[in-house]
Structure 1
Amino acid sequence: MGCTFRPHFGYCRRISTKVNVLITVSDDIYDVYGTLDELELFTNAVERWDINAMDGLPNYMKICFLALHNSVNEMAFDILKEQELHIIRYFKKRWADLCRAYLLEAKWYYSGGDVPKSIQCYMNETGASEEDAREFIRCLISATWKKMIGEQSMTSPFSKTFIEIEFNLGRMAQCIYQYGDGHGVRNHETKDHLLSLFVQLIPP
């Protein structure tokens, strides 16, 4: 989740978990369960941020929208109360943009297309082989890590804790997707890594 495991960052871990669950459920609604008409209504409800807009939704979408609406409002309330920052409009805009992007992908899929991945995009744009495209993406990832490590030593307006969390987020993403889609498609490599990290005992 990109979080630090220090005890006093429990709230951060809880919020990150909620956000990741909401993103995963929303992604499944757009990729698997919703029809285009339903997805249009769901996206409209999120953009309006109005619980009255969910009346025409099927029950599973109502549950998702209400969970999203309540969770985001609760997070914004906590931040306003504790830090005196009014950020609900930014949260709403982010979720609306995310749902709009999901809807565009769903429309492309329903029209007979396939949602292109980075390797496929590079192959289509350059005519490269799959092997060369994979190597190019690996080089991009490596260059991004070098840039992040270099910027770690620069003066930053962000706290060290925030930077640490961002690094952990990158590590988590690479761990999950290093051998393919370790989140949506189960594979032994990702499962074995997670078991060794969180379940199996470290030998003495």
Structure 2
Amino acid sequence: MSTLGSDVKGLLSLYNAAYLGTHGEIILDEAISFTRNSLVSALADLKPPLTTQVSLDLETPLCRRIRRLLARDYISIYQEDATRDDAILELAKLDFNLLQSLHREELKNITIFARDRLVECYFWILAVYFEPYYSRARVITTKVIAHISILDDIYDVYSTLEESQRLTEAIQRWDAKVVHQLPEYMKDYYLKLMHTFKEFEDLLASNEKYRITYLKEAMKDLSEAYFEESKWRDQHYIPTLEEHLQVSLISSAYPMLECASFVGMGEIATKEAFEWITSFPKIVQASAIIGRIMNDITSHELEQTREHVASTVHCYMKEYGTNVHTACKKLQVLVDDAWKDINEECFNQTTFPIALLQRIVNFARMIEILYKYIDGYTNSSTKTKEYISLLLVHPVPL
């Protein structure tokens, strides 16, 4: 270790590799602690571009960073490398800018009844897949997350419990004829939801149309979870952590979104894949844990300033009699364990291709970007705005 301690690039490689550890690999847990401390100590004496590379990886390890931002960052790092190949650098810049122009056109063409979050929604899904051949899938999933964003607001902010119940029942029935049962302000949303899912079906080939059935069922599950949380809120009920997670992992919307992410993909997304993704497998549970808990840790204080369902943080505090700091620390352990679950599922033999598992991994990676320090989706004028600018507004200078 004494030799490795002076090899910064070696330390950085070990640091990043150790985050691919699974349960029981204590030596890798120790390696993370050792390499992190060593890299932090060495940081002040490093020179660019290594300083930038180490700083970025210390903030978020390589395996948890979204690929498109990683590419943008690495182009800048590689440009400062004295051993760079200028032809490769130019090709990377041209490739990035060409793909960026495609993404901009795609976003421009997406129109949907949505709150002022469409760009943020597209940015979220861009982290899930950026490749040009996933254009159809990206558009579909962006529209789904935009609808979910509105639905979350309706349950969380605007509706009474009785109105929430009516909306839940209408979504369970999935029939435009029941729209008259809804309050006036919900009718446009409900009809648009029906219409959008019909649009999705029209986009699919005849042998793909069955996928919409799975998507509808996932939306029904989500609405039921939102309604259950509405009841908890109005009853001022604080469940146990286990009880909370049984509902809030679904209301994290990740099981629904991960199902949606398969809908627009090609032949690789088979009926067996939809049966699997909607059975709430371990890797989907893990991504939902990461999404739910990291969201709650960064937003629980703000949400408790208004009438809101108890977060996992408050449930833990009540159940175990701890303070906020201890609760957040203990919940972070669940997040770290969930990442190990994801690693295990990706390493283990599976009947499903890595291209499908990668969507789920990328959803978890996006949480690391949006909810590491603050709620970067709600407060998108902060670091999120910078990320969006890098990926969708400003080309790489040639």
| TM-score (norm: length of structure 2) | 0.46
The answer for unaligned runs of 5 or more in structure 2 is 1-124, 238-307
Query: How many angstroms apart in 2 are the aligned matches of 1:157 and 1:164?
Result: 14
The verdict on how the C-alpha distance between 1:131 and 1:195 changes in structure 2, with shifts beyond 3 A counting, is farther
Kindly report which structure 2 residues correspond to 1:106-185, keeping only aligned pairs within 5 A, or say none.
106-112=230-236, 114-185=308-379
The separation in 2 between residues aligned to 1:86 and 1:199, in whole angstroms, is 37
Measure the CA separation in 2 of the matches of 1:37 and 1:56: 11
Report the residue type matching 1:108 in the other structure.
W
1:62 aligns with one of 165, 184, 187: 187
| Unmatched tracts of structure 1, length 5 or more | none
Counterpart check, 1:46 vs 2:171: yes
Question: In structure 2, do the counterparts of structure 1 residues 7 and 201 end up closer, same or farther at CA, with 3 Å as the change threshold?
Answer: closer
3-state DSSP of counterpart to 1:128: coil
Q: For the structure 1 residues 149 and 202, does the alpha-carbon distance in structure 2 shift closer, same or farther, using more than 3 Å as the test?
A: farther
Q: Does 1:9 align with 2:203?
A: no
Which whole-Å CA distance do the structure 1 matches of 2:157 and 2:376 have between them?
A: 18
Q: What is the aligned length?
A: 203
- Go from structure 1 to structure 2 and tell me whether the alpha carbon gap of 1:147 and 1:104 turns closer, same or farther (over 3 Å shift): closer
CA contact (8 A) 2:166 2:182 kept: yes
* Counterpart-to-counterpart distance in 1, 2:193 and 2:331: 33
Match of 1:95 among 219, 224, 228: 219
Correspondence for 2:152? 27
Q: Does the Cα contact within 8 Å between 2:163 and 2:182 map onto a contact in 1? A: yes
Aligned equivalents of 2:207 and 2:365: distance in 1? Answer: 29
| Distance (Å, rounded) in 1 between the aligned partners of 2:235 and 2:343 | 42
**Given the alignment of the two structures, is residue 86 of structure 1 paired with residue 210 of structure 2, yes or no?**
yes
Contact map agreement 1:3 1:16 (CA 8 A) in 2: no
Task: Find out whether 1:75 has 2:235 as its counterpart.
Answer: no
**Which structure would you say has the larger RCO, counting Cα contacts within 8 Å and 6 or more residues apart?**
1
Higher Cα Rg, which structure: 2
Cα distance in structure 2, aligned partners of 1:152 and 1:176: 23
Aligned CA distance change for structure 1 residues 194 and 77 (closer, same or farther; 3 Å): closer
**Is the contact made by 2:170 and 2:179 (CA closer than 8 Å) also made in structure 1?**
yes
% identical aligned pairs: 32
For the aligned residue pairs, the C-alpha RMSD in angstroms reads 2.5
Q: Is the 8 A contact 2:233 2:310 kept in 1?
A: no
Partner SS, residue 115 of structure 1: coil
Q: What is the CA distance between 1:37 and its match in structure 2?
A: 2.7
**Separation (CA, whole Å) in 2 of partners of 1:103 and 1:189:** 32
Whole-Å separation in 2 of the counterparts to 1:181 and 1:134: 15
| Structure 1 residues 77 and 149: alpha-carbon distance in aligned structure 2, compared to 1, 3 A threshold | same
Query: 1:122 offset after TM fit, Å?
Result: 1.4
CA 43–15 in structure 1, closer or farther in 2 if over 3 Å, else same: same
Deviation per CA, 1:71-127: give whole Å up to 9, x if none: 2234345556143x6244433322222112212222332345641212222111111
User: Which one-letter code corresponds to 1:37 in the other structure?
Assistant: E
> Does the Cα contact within 8 Å between 2:174 and 2:194 map onto a contact in 1?
yes
**Secondary structure in 1 matching 2:128:** coil
SS at match of 2:181: coil
